[in-house]
Amino acid sequence: MKYNIAVVPGDGIGPEVVAEALKVLDRVGEKFGHEFNYTKVLAGGCAIDEVGEPLPEESLKICKENDAVLLGAVGGWKWDDLPGDQRPEKALLGLRKGLALFANLRPALLFDELADACPLKKEIVDGGLDLVVVRELTGGIYFGEKGRKQTDMGEAAYDIEIYSEEEIERIAEVAFDMAMKRGKKVTSVDKANVLESSRLWRSVVMKVAEKYPEVELNHLYVDNAVMQIIRDPKQFDVIVTSNMFGDILSDGASQVTGSIGMLPSASLAKGNFGMYEPVHGSAPDLAGTGKANPMATILSVAMMLRYSFDLSEEADAIENAVKKVLADKYRTPDIMLNEKDPDACKLIGTKEAGDLITANI
């Protein structure tokens, strides 16, 4: 099969980690008989330098014409003094909006080999941890009406949380479809004891659940969900929630996995189209040092194979290769936990990590 991928290397460590991910993808193509074609796309700080804007129209057009997008990271110190609407990060919002990416998937996967990186007690995460937060990305309070007004008590400000049935239905469907490919359990997180928007959220999620009789559904209030992620994260398979609750919960859940250098993400549109990127930023402090961990980007490519191209076996091959490299005790500096006993693990850099993972496919 042939797949066309728009590649946005971006800034800082972006191009370095993307190069390793493409190396891995090429090896997957070779082994499984697929052709992956890449079109490089200009976006972020490098686009500001080259053409004066973070997301040129042509870049968005190329992304739309491809089957999926792989993004490194954008931003950096060089552009920090620019006004908000001219900064490199504006490219991210432009891509999310322009590509109609409404579902953000953030897995929190703790590899056994990195169990020591988890801040929770060993018995809580014993046997591994594998959950995914499905966050609604284009609605809710972040996009609702906002403003300020004068009141008897001085100036007041408001942001309105608003969700339509259709918006809730489509994100719930993403969560249930995902659960069908995983542990067949969905936890919907809301604040239905207080918020009307949450009451609608809950009723629509329950209606969608009727189409998935094999999937177990439960509901948690967001305050309880936070407690449960720390107390017993293994109870979760797929968590589905609104834009703001998902923003907070996904960061919380990701921390149980240790380094930001291990965390992939996906943002999906209707159909199979998606944009895949590591959770981390451009890490200007690491750019050019060869020390960045490329695994988050490599695992993002595995998500692309699984969710946009329906290539589960190929995605498994990448995830298993990452596990093998960790099991063989190779570590980039961010996951080199045993500093007191440097002989216990072998320190590697960005390129070596990419080469080792490629060799294990």
- Which part of the chain contacts ligand NAD (CB under 6 A), choosing from 48-56, 173-181, 226-234, 289-297? 289-297
Cα distance between the two ends of the chain:
18
Give min distance, CB of 246 to ligand NAD, in A: 16
Provide, rounded to whole angstroms, the least separation between the CB of residue 334 and ligand NAD: 4
Q: Which stretch binds ligand NAD (CB under 6 A): 27-35, 72-80, 150-158, 204-212?
A: 72-80
Instruction: Tell which positions 73-102 bind ligand NAD, by CB under 6 A.
Output: 73-76, 89, 92
Q: Using CB under 6 A, which residues numbered 241 to 270 contact ligand NAD? A: 260-261
Smallest CA-to-CA distance from 186 within 194, 198, 195, 177 is with 177
Could you give the CA distance from residue 195 to residue 183 in angstroms, rounded to a whole number? 29
Task: For residue 74, give the amino acid letter.
Answer: V
What residues contact residue 168 under an 8 Å CB cut-off, 6+ apart?
136, 200, 201, 204, 205
* Beta strand pairing call for 154-159 and 185-190: unpaired
Tell me the window of 133-141, 208-216, 242-250, 279-287 that interacts with ligand NAD (CB under 6 A): 279-287
Write each residue from 154 to 173 as x if it is in contact with ligand NAD (CB under 6 A), else as -, in one continuous string: --------------------
User: Under the criterion CB under 6 A, does residue 285 sit at the interface with ligand NAD?
Assistant: yes
Listed ranges 67-75, 173-181, 197-205, 224-232: which one lies at the site for ligand NAD (CB under 6 A): 67-75
The reply to whether 18 sits near ligand NAD by the rule CB under 6 A is no
* Interface residue with ligand NAD, options 277, 307, 314, 360 (CB under 6 A): 277
The site map against ligand NAD for 208-247 (x = CB under 6 A) is ----------------------------------------
| x/- map, 300-339, ligand NAD, by CB under 6 A | ----------------------------------x-----
* Choice from 191, 280, 306, 331 touching ligand NAD (CB under 6 A): 280
In Å, what is the CA distance from 355 to each residue of 7, 249, 286, 327, 347? 20, 34, 19, 16, 14
Read off the DSSP letter of residue 162. Answer: -
Please report, for the chain, how many H helices and E strands are present, in that order: 12, 14
- Strand-pairing partners, residue 118, are none
Annotated catalytic residues are 142, 191, 223, 247, 251
Q: Write b or e for each residue in 268-289: b if 16 or more Cβ atoms lie within 10 A of its Cβ, otherwise e.
A: bbeeebbbbbbbbbbbbebbee
Q: Rounded distance, CA 171 to CA 193, Å?
A: 21
Retrieve residue 300's tokens: 């993002």
Q: Does 293 bind ligand NAD (CB under 6 A)?
A: yes
Shorter beta-carbon distance to ligand NAD: residue 76 or 233 = 76
In the bound state with ligand NAD, the residue whose beta carbon lies nearer, of 73 and 205, is: 73
**Of the residues 242, 282, 358, 360, which one makes contact with ligand NAD according to CB under 6 A:** 282
For residue 250, how many C-alpha atoms fall within 13 Å in the half-sphere facing its CB? Answer: 27
Tokens of 71: 């993004």
Q: How far apart are CA 295 and CA 160, in angstroms?
A: 38
* Phi, psi dihedral angles at 40 (to 5 degrees): -75, 135
Residues in contact with ligand NAD by CB under 6 A are 13, 17, 73-76, 89, 92, 260-261, 277, 280-286, 292-293, 296, 334
